Structure 1
Amino acid sequence: MTLQPARGALPRTRTTGRRTTGRRTAGVLLAAAALVATAVPASSALADPGTATAAHDRTTAYLNPKLPVARRVSDLLGRMTTAEKIGQMTQAERGSVDADPAQITHLGLGSLLSGGGSTPKPNTPGAWADMVDGYQAHALATRLHIPLLYGIDSVHGDGNLVGATIFPHNIGMGATRDPQLVAEEEHITATETRATGPQWVFAPCVCVARDDRWGRTYESFGEDPALVRRMESAIDGFQGTRTKDLARPDRVLATVKHYAGDGDTTYGTSTTGDYTIDRGVTRTSHRRFDAVDLAPYVTAVQVHGAGSVMPSYSSVQWTDVPGSQPVKMSASKELLTDVLKRKIGFEGFLISDWDAITQLPGDFATQVRTSVNAGMDMFMQPYDAPQFEQALAAEVQAGRVPMSRIDDAVSRILRAKFQLGLFEHPFTDRTNIGTVGSPAHRAVARRAVAESQVLLKNDHHALPLKPSQRIYVAGVNASDLGNQAGGWTVTWQGQSGNTAFPGTTILQGIQNEAKNVTYSADATAPMSGHDVGIVVVGETPYAEGVGDVGTGGHTLGLSATDRANIDRVCSAIKTCLVLDVAGRPQIITGELPKADAFVMSWLPGSEGAGVADVLFGKRPFTGKLPVTWPRSEAQEPINVGDVHYDPLFPYGYGLTAKH
């Protein structure tokens, strides 16, 4: 059962944004600890006889916000036992501790996360804040009162929260070519996320999508590393542009992912017949890897100061190294430590992906040892946190993991917690909770939708539409919020339908602009008397490898139903427009000649009215393709710069309505 403390039961921090004194900090921490004192046994698993209890007052250096962060980190680290350090390196899924939140205290957990669809009941802003604060109280009941860091996948808005503003996925934002808008979007996402508890987001994805058959294509800003780097203003939107911004109630710690090469894996099948494009192998030379896959991370770290990095599930195999074998990123000391931390200069911390180390060779102890020594700092072990802590403690005790590596990892994690101001303000600052899903936030999302639309064809001046025209709309995706938002929306995979979250469908947007609109999902309603036909085609929601082409029946082609709808409408109504609502280009070579106009709408999110804005000329078409559009599935992978480059539409293509 979800822990939901009574409203007002937990001490709230002041919402003025001012820093508190060391005395105030200690008081907040001790008051919080008192709330769960009865839940913590006298003999904790973290007890270490012979270690003096810290003096929690204003003379304790790590509790003094006036001291430099480095000094506070050093002071706190020096007070910690090995068990407490390992606890800071451990992240569990909330579902694994929800029945017994005292585990947070017993294990000394440094972090919790909500996976996709892991939410409180009810799924409301207030319930989220209450839930996170409840967990936080248990973290503060530990000997040193180290606050908890709570992470969530806010990849296109706070998608787990019903009522949050849902923006277009990254591929649509890449089509906008508007870094300022991307920063504004992520600032709103940060505001809505932190106001409801979590202080850390697993975003943005800065992968370079080189094969549209990949099920995570929509999480990428595009196929050109230069475009991805340009859109890394997203990091500034999350974190702010100064280190001290992180402590604000409208900022969160960002995570750039998935380091590195996950969008560049080789398509094919494994010995078990599974498609390997997701979590597969990037076969490349060092030179090409640096230019394509690594480039966004250099900018993310050196220009934008990304606070955390999530290594990929995928592997790298060097084509310029004789005898090279694929090495999982979670095990690559070369790429995690030598390149990212030393060469690029990353000072934040590395967080493993969901249960990622269990994909490494060897038994669990070997997997833990390999990844820690490779440079991983925090471990996302959703349901086996106790086993992880025990395994790492044994490896340290045996001398197979040096204490210097543990201290480095914990120092990086603590630095982020101090920068976020969690020691001064451990509980949720709810100042901005009333802005979640507000009209002002949705207006920005609507503008993002409009800017993301890419006009691929516009013959006979089909666009812009006129409000006086009699319009016939066909296709399920015209009136399905779930399909419109895609994966990572309320649940991990997303879901079709209009009941999961509030928003405006594309059909509703059209109906708000035109006086005479007929809708028929299957294009069977009479079509005579209409001036314009609009067919909305596309995909249904998916996430990660579930969406790989070749998995679960996925292809890049349009469905038989979508093709039939195009045939019916475009053959019966003089002017015919097709909208494609999808997370990647689809094969439309045979259907394109049947339509007078064709628009790629991507996955617009909750504000479908933004699509209508450009259809009716209230905003101009400005979107440009962030990926190359293939003529056939057989052309994949196809990318700008290829020697033999003959796409249906090239990278960067996009018309205006006046074309």
Structure 2
Amino acid sequence: MALSVRTRLFVAVALTLFSARFVHAAEIYMDHKIPVELRVKALLSRMTLVEKIGQMMQIERSVANASVIRKFRIGSVLSAGGSTPEVNKPEAWQEMVDSFQSGALRTRLKIPMLYGIDAVHGHNAAYGATIFPHNIGLGCTRDRELVKRIGAVTALELRATGIPYTFAPCVAVCRDPRWGRCYESFSEDPSLVRKMTDVIYGLQGVGPPGLPFVAGRSKVAACAKHYVGDGGTRKGINANNTILSFEDLVKIHMVPYFDAIAKGVSTIMISYSSWNGVKMHANRFLITDVLKGKLRFKGFVISDYQGIDQITTPPDANYTYSVLASINAGIDMVMVPMDYKGFLSNLTSLVNSGFVPMKRIDDAVRRILRVKFSMGLFEHPLAERSYLHHFGVQGNKDVAREAVRKSLVLLKNGKDKSQPFLPLSKKATKILVAGTHADSIGLQCGGWTISWQGSPNDTTKGTTILHAIKTAVSKPTRVLHKASPERGYAARSKADFAVVVVGEPPYAEGRGDNQNLTIPAEGLRTIKNVCPEVKCLVILISGRPLVVQPYLHLMEAFVAAWLPGTQGKGITDVIFGDYEFVGKLSRTWFRSVDQLPMNVGDAEYDPLFPFGYGLRMDIKHKTP
């Protein structure tokens, strides 16, 4: 029987209303006016298992493209150390990131991809970016407001390349300078590391305490790393075993995470290391019970690069077990980074067979979506082209230059207090500048600069110490330069004084582990050849204290400059007396490696220079 006109009209209206309600429910997560937790709940309820696991994968840019991201619903992409576009320019970075994002935005649910990178002392992978001193130097400044500004500059330069997420800051408490990552640590003292977590406010902005928050498009999501105990491994060996009671683990290594979480850090990265023989990537107690439970961390937990592969010995001996152990331990996002198909297959099978509960998957995805919504990624998934004018500009360099001069630590000034050697005169007749590190941006910057391990070459833009000296002195002053002068050269030069700049080669992570901590041979030769023949200031470029006691008597003055980055003029600002030395050691300076590990507060403490040591020049009385 045919329906009446009235009945057909009623059905049409009902269907329209029903469709409208259905569409509204489906798209509620796209409405930025809706509270984040409701958006998360609405989106999560619509996701399939494949879509959820896709969000949990972070793949390397070298295997990523729009098609892969769309097909496998990839939630995140990263640049590993030194992984850059073929043309390393801000515009190329933007185009690359947006090309990946285009694949994510064409998926059924249009969940944007999150791009991450290790911006650990500025946007250090991008050519021409502002490179700051590494964290060991920033710890010597003890300047919380300065590190906030450094975080803000780093965020702006990241956004100028279209990147919204950095794997920083490192909040490791390095207890042994033999560790190759020691320069990534602000200090051996947990209380100082806690203070320096203020860099998170610069990176992310200030939001509700304890909740992931990114304050607009000029800020980025941050990542506190490496949870937990990475700086306390036996003999400072990278990714080794940290042997401590739980009480000492909390007191020394965990306390910076209290502050990072309170300041709203979006993500936390797990350490390669073990705690009392248990790999951190498989430690359910410390990740789920402590970090997510006791500490109430609301962001997402991310693995380190191929970190889950190292759960077994040898690495990747049983990948299925590694996936099982890491996900059930509480890791939410996994740096796969290459074999995303294998990860997807293994985790799907583990969920379908009941070995990984769906509740655990939902917890992971909920946390990832919470961060993406909180940072406004759904509203603004693409690069903001106008931010290009923030990249590598003079104002950013000025902040870096300030950081350099505040990080310098004066450890010796004259053979006795009555005859200080510094500040140096800008009106000297002749100055000899010697040493391998005097005229190399790559050596000034150290590891994690353009490439993963860094390079001794001038890999990016900047001002070397030699160039800074030449521009600081008066026009009549002659500046001689010889990287490796032979014995007798300094005497023949008839220089008024010498500035000797020596130090370590660049390194990163385990390749920097060093059980001897001696100044490289070429640097020692330069000190021995120059300093007995002419009064010299020795500037040490290094990621940690090195053995200097046997050579200290040869030097008139000695400055620890750490790894200062691209702004060499920050050094000449101070050694010529325009600014005072204000840096204080963030690490104990040992006499010999036999004393290691040795840290402030130890019962046996006999350092060459104690924690907190640092001289001043009293420049207000200097002779013009």
Q: Quick check: TM above 0.5?
A: yes
Select which of 97, 106, 120 maps to 1:155.
Answer: 120
Aligned partner of 2:187 in structure 1 is: 222
Residues 249 and 432, structure 1, Cα contact 8 Å, conserved in 2: no
Aligned partner of 2:16 in structure 1 is: none
Letter of the 2:455 partner, please give it: Q
Deviation of residue 658 (structure 1)?
A: 2.7
**Is the partner of 2:243 in helix, strand or coil?**
strand
Could you say if the C-alpha distance between residues 389 and 247 of structure 1 is closer, same or farther in structure 2, counting changes exceeding 3 Å?
Answer: farther
Residues 213 and 549, structure 1, Cα contact 8 Å, conserved in 2: yes
String of CA shifts for 1:417-448, please: whole Å, max 9, x gaps: 11111111110112321121101100100000
Aligned partner of 1:518 in structure 2 is: 480
Residues 201 and 255, structure 1, Cα contact 8 Å, conserved in 2: yes
**Is the partner of 2:500 in helix, strand or coil?**
strand
Letter of the 1:405 partner, please give it: R
Aligned partner of 1:369 in structure 2 is: 324
Residues 472 and 527, structure 1, Cα contact 8 Å, conserved in 2: no
String of CA shifts for 1:482-511, please: whole Å, max 9, x gaps: 01000000000000112x100000111111
Distance 1:623 1:642 in 2: 23
Select which of 335, 349, 359 maps to 1:380.
Answer: 335
Distance 1:314 1:219 in 2: 16
Aligned partner of 2:367 in structure 1 is: 412
**Is the partner of 2:385 in helix, strand or coil?**
coil
Distance 1:59 1:70 in 2: 15
Distance 2:439 2:485 in 1: 13
Aligned partner of 1:109 in structure 2 is: 74
Unaligned runs of 5+ in 2: 1-18, 620-624
Distance 1:220 1:343 in 2: 25
Distance 1:620 1:431 in 2: 38
Select which of 402, 424, 438 maps to 1:478.
Answer: 438
Residues 36 and 370, structure 2, Cα contact 8 Å, conserved in 1: yes
Distance 2:30 2:618 in 1: 62
**Is the partner of 1:638 in helix, strand or coil?**
coil
Residues 26 and 42, structure 2, Cα contact 8 Å, conserved in 1: no
Aligned partner of 1:78 in structure 2 is: 45
**Is the partner of 2:33 in helix, strand or coil?**
coil
Aligned partner of 1:175 in structure 2 is: 140
String of CA shifts for 1:152-177, please: whole Å, max 9, x gaps: 00000001100100000000000111
Letter of the 1:506 partner, please give it: I
Letter of the 1:441 partner, please give it: N
Unaligned runs of 5+ in 1: 1-51, 268-275, 318-325
Residues 312 and 330, structure 1, Cα contact 8 Å, conserved in 2: yes
Residue 592 (1) aligns with residue 552 (2): yes
| Most deviating of 518-527 and 348-357 | 518-527
| Most deviating of 141-150 and 562-571 | 562-571
Aligned partner of 2:222 in structure 1 is: 254
Residue 345 (1) aligns with residue 304 (2): no
Could you say if the C-alpha distance between residues 266 and 636 of structure 1 is closer, same or farther in structure 2, counting changes exceeding 3 Å?
Answer: same
Aligned partner of 1:397 in structure 2 is: 352
Aligned partner of 1:331 in structure 2 is: 282
Aligned partner of 1:310 in structure 2 is: 269
Residue 65 (1) aligns with residue 32 (2): yes
Aligned partner of 1:20 in structure 2 is: none
Letter of the 2:587 partner, please give it: V
Deviation of residue 55 (structure 1)?
A: 7.1
Residue 544 (1) aligns with residue 503 (2): no
Deviation of residue 363 (structure 1)?
A: 1.5
**1:528-607 map, 5 Å:** 528-550=493-515, 555-573=516-534, 575-607=535-567
Could you say if the C-alpha distance between residues 530 and 83 of structure 1 is closer, same or farther in structure 2, counting changes exceeding 3 Å?
Answer: same
Residue 283 (1) aligns with residue 251 (2): no
Select which of 443, 446, 450 maps to 1:490.
Answer: 450
Deviation of residue 529 (structure 1)?
A: 2.4
String of CA shifts for 1:367-402, please: whole Å, max 9, x gaps: 111111110000000111111011100000000111
String of CA shifts for 1:390-416, please: whole Å, max 9, x gaps: 110000000011111100100000011
Aligned partner of 1:464 in structure 2 is: 423
Residues 475 and 562, structure 1, Cα contact 8 Å, conserved in 2: yes
Select which of 643, 647, 651 maps to 2:603.
Answer: 643
Residue 359 (1) aligns with residue 304 (2): no
Letter of the 1:503 partner, please give it: G
Distance 1:620 1:516 in 2: 25
Q: How many residues align?
A: 583
Residue 199 (1) aligns with residue 164 (2): yes
Deviation of residue 59 (structure 1)?
A: 6.9
Residues 249 and 431, structure 1, Cα contact 8 Å, conserved in 2: no
Aligned partner of 2:15 in structure 1 is: none
Aligned partner of 2:13 in structure 1 is: none
**Is the partner of 2:78 in helix, strand or coil?**
strand
Deviation of residue 58 (structure 1)?
A: 9.3
**Is the partner of 1:431 in helix, strand or coil?**
helix
Aligned partner of 1:30 in structure 2 is: none
**1:1-12 map, 5 Å:** none
**Is the partner of 1:309 in helix, strand or coil?**
strand
Aligned partner of 1:36 in structure 2 is: none
Residues 340 and 346, structure 1, Cα contact 8 Å, conserved in 2: yes
Letter of the 2:39 partner, please give it: R
Deviation of residue 245 (structure 1)?
A: 6.2
Aligned partner of 1:609 in structure 2 is: 569
Aligned partner of 2:615 in structure 1 is: 655
Letter of the 1:305 partner, please give it: G
Distance 1:649 1:528 in 2: 33
**Is the partner of 1:518 in helix, strand or coil?**
strand
Distance 1:516 1:405 in 2: 68
Residues 468 and 516, structure 1, Cα contact 8 Å, conserved in 2: no
Distance 1:245 1:309 in 2: 14
Deviation of residue 527 (structure 1)?
A: 4.1
Deviation of residue 559 (structure 1)?
A: 2.0
Distance 2:321 2:547 in 1: 45
Aligned partner of 1:26 in structure 2 is: none
Q: Which has the larger radius of gyration?
A: 2
Distance 1:377 1:58 in 2: 26
Letter of the 1:136 partner, please give it: Q
Deviation of residue 278 (structure 1)?
A: 0.3
Deviation of residue 560 (structure 1)?
A: 2.1
String of CA shifts for 1:74-104, please: whole Å, max 9, x gaps: 0000000011000000010010124xx3011
**RMSD of aligned residue pairs (Cα, Å):** 1.7
Deviation of residue 516 (structure 1)?
A: 2.2
Could you say if the C-alpha distance between residues 543 and 56 of structure 1 is closer, same or farther in structure 2, counting changes exceeding 3 Å?
Answer: farther
Could you say if the C-alpha distance between residues 250 and 456 of structure 1 is closer, same or farther in structure 2, counting changes exceeding 3 Å?
Answer: same
Distance 1:398 1:538 in 2: 55
Residues 87 and 110, structure 1, Cα contact 8 Å, conserved in 2: yes
Detail structure 1 runs of 4+ shifted over 3 Å in the superposition: 54-59, 524-528
Residues 376 and 409, structure 1, Cα contact 8 Å, conserved in 2: yes
Letter of the 2:88 partner, please give it: N
Distance 2:384 2:393 in 1: 18
